[in-house]
Amino acid sequence: MKTCKYYFEKISEYLDGELDGQACHEIEAHLKECPECGRCADSLKKTIQLCRETAKEKVPSEMRVRLKLALQECLQKQLG
């Protein structure tokens, strides 16, 4: 009999689609039966989505200009 802890360790692999068919079927059945593990999987999924949606950054425009100049200068030196 596999315990909640066993499935708890596999939740990320399940969410990433990295479990094989049998293991995936088993964990899905467990998440349906066990409300606590089901909530755990849901909150982990929401955490990943939230981080993905808010984490992207853009290079500030002044930095973009500085970077371009530094790279051009360096490359011109390399090319001699």
Partner 1 sequence: MYEDTETNATIAEDEIMNTLATDETDHLLITRFKAGSMDAMEKIVERYEDQIFTFGLKMCGHLQDAEDIVQETFLNAFKYLNDFREETKLRNWLFKIAARVCFRKRRKKKFEPERELSLESFVLKDGLSSSYDIPDLSNNPSEQLERNELKQIINKSILSLPPKYRFVFNLRDIEGFSTKEASEILGITAQTVKTRLHRARLFLREKISEQFNEGEAVR
Token pair listed for 8: 């708890």
Q: Do residues 48 and 18 make contact, with C-beta atoms less than 8 angstroms apart?
A: no
Name the minimum Å distance from CB 20 to partner 1: 14
Of 21, 52, 61, 80, the one binding partner 1 by CB under 8 A: 52
- For residue 58, give both structure tokens: 């853009």
17: alpha, beta or left? (left if phi > 0; alpha if psi -120 to 50): left
Report if residue 29 touches partner 1, rule: CB under 8 A.
no
Point out which residues bind partner 1 (CB under 8 A): 5, 8-9, 11-13, 16, 18, 36, 39-40, 43-44, 46-48, 50-60, 63-64, 66-68, 70-72, 74-75, 78-79
